[in-house]
């Protein structure tokens, strides 16, 4: 087997982790320069007060840069929060039901509104379960794809059912529609327009974009709220980004029960009024996110990053498609993720050998999620095209050595 690997700076490896993920080397170099003495202020960014003028500029610049890149409309708030996607499962539900719009709609209906969930994998399923745990009425618009086999039906998260079969609630009875655009575990990516075109415009769409945010242009104006953990495309773990339409932050003060159920740490309006800093935020993580936003802008913005995302994914999928009996991709080609590519080899033994041989080539973090096994290749923004080329060269060498 060939061992021609590219020389990487600082003894680094090709890191295909699903998250926390690889970061741009230029960003890490700037962090390294600032770590002991941030811009001549005599202290590390990690030692700086979040109430200082210097840090106020850091978080302000981070938000301004993100707004430019994503073209965030003025009637949307950008919040830096904590708790990850799991925290936002609860936050989305609790904030929407504390909002004036939903409270009034529920009062007109005379009973509790339902919440529509499009379940395409573990993360959207987690959101549905959390709402049920909190006393909500989640409606599974669909829960995977049911296929009738000879013996019994089975559920797969490798595809999406046709829109005509979706069981969306009636708009006047629905508080919001929730979906995860890219399922990191199952390798399914749902096109935004597929959902947005199917949902009545009067119903807010809440989208978890944790693993494909900043990888392509998005029409923010069509969403009620977008949530995204930073640790895939935007920075280190510790920050959750929320972009929410401002009218959904308005409250009906007479609906005290809904407001009292909403903890301050998950309260979008509470964070909005305090500029994302009602208490000490994850200062270091937000600082790094701001550098990543600037890096993304310097690359040429989302149109350029989209081309790179498609080029990386095409290289890997072409190899999978060329040898489908060896590299078995379980995901419907129409909905294959450009961020997280999953496949299996003919035997578990070969998969173990694949991981071991890849590590010898400085290619790491390829093991599939513990719930599925197999191989998972995460191709986030900071992965250079050369990394995908190197990985495909390894795939080819491994195939030549081990296929029958």
Active site members: 123, 208, 232
Instruction: Specify whether the CB–CB gap between 321 and 313 falls below 8 A.
Output: no
Q: How many other CB atoms sit within 10 Å of the CB of residue 25? A: 15
Show the tokens assigned to 93.
């539900």
Tell me if residue 78 falls in helix, strand or coil.
strand
Nearest alpha-carbon partner for 19 in 376, 348, 300:
376
What is the H or E stretch that residue 252 is in?
A: none
CA 18/CA 366 separation, integer angstroms:
9
User: Where do we find the tokens 């719930």?
Assistant: 371
DSSP percent split of the chain into helix, strand, coil, nearest 5 = 45, 15, 40
**226 bridge partner residues:** 207, 243
Query: Helices then strands (H, E): number in the chain?
Result: 12, 15
Give 104's contacts (C-beta < 8 A, 6+ positions apart): 252
What is the H or E stretch that residue 115 is in?
A: strand 114-119
CA 309/CA 367 separation, integer angstroms:
21
What letter does residue 110 receive in the DSSP assignment?
T
Mode of pairing for the β-strands spanning 363-364 and 14-15: parallel
Give 50's contacts (C-beta < 8 A, 6+ positions apart): 59, 277, 280, 281, 283
- For residues 100-137, one letter each, b for 16 or more C-beta atoms within 10 angstroms of the residue's C-beta and e for the rest, the string is bbbbebbeeeeeebbbbbbbbbbbbbbbbebbeeeebe
- Cis upstream peptide for 179 (omega within 30°): no
Nearest alpha-carbon partner for 237 in 17, 55, 72:
17
Show the tokens assigned to 76.
């949307």
């Amino acid at each position: 087997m060939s061992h021609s690997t590219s020389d990487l700076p600082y003894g680094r490896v090709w890191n295909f982790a699903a998250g926390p993920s690889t970061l741009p080397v230029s960003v890490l170099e700037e962090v390294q320069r600032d770590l002991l003495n941030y811009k001549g202020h005599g202290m590390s960014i990690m030692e700086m007060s979040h109430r200082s003028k210097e840090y106020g500029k850091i978080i302000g610049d981070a938000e301004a840069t993100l707004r430019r890149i994503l073209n965030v409309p003025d009637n949307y708030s950008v919040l830096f929060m904590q708790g990850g996607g799991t925290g936002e499962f609860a936050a989305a539900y609790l904030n929407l039901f504390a909002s004036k719009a939903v409270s009034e709609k529920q009062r007109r209906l005379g009973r509790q509104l339902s919440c529509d969930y499009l379940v395409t994998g573990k993360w959207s399923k987690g959101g549905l379960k959390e709402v049920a745990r909190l006393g909500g009425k989640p409606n599974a618009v669909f829960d995977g794809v049911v296929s009738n086999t000879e013996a019994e039906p089975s559920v797969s998260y490798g595809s999406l059912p046709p829109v005509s079969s979706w069981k969306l609630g009636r708009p006047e009875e629905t508080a919001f529609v929730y979906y995860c655009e890219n399922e990191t575990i199952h390798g399914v990516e749902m096109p935004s327009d597929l959902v947005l075109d199917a949902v009545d415009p009067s119903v807010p769409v809440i989208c978890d974009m944790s693993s494909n945010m900043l990888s392509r242009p998005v029409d923010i104006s069509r969403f009620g709220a977008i949530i995204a953990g930073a640790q895939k495309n935007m920075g280190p773990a510790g920050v959750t980004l929320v972009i929410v339409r401002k009218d959904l932050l308005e409250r009906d003060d007479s609906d005290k029960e809904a407001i009292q159920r909403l903890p301050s740490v998950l309260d979008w309006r509470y964070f909005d009024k305090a500029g994302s800093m009602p208490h000490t935020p994850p200062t270091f993580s937000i600082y790094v996110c701001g550098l990543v936003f600037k890096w993304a802008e310097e690359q040429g913005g989302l149109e350029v990053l989209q081309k790179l995302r498609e080029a990386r994914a095409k290289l890997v999928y072409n190899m999978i498609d060329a040898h489908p009996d060896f590299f078995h991709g379980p995901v419907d080609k129409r909905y294959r993720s450009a961020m997280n590519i999953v496949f299996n080899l003919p035997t578990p033994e070969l998969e173990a050998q694949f991981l071991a041989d890849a590590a010898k080539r400085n290619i790491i973090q390829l093991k599939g999620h513990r719930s599925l096994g197999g191989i998972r290749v995460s191709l986030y923004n900071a992965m250079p095209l050369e990394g995908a080329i190197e990985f495909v060269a390894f795939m080819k060498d491994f195939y030549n050595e081990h296929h029958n």
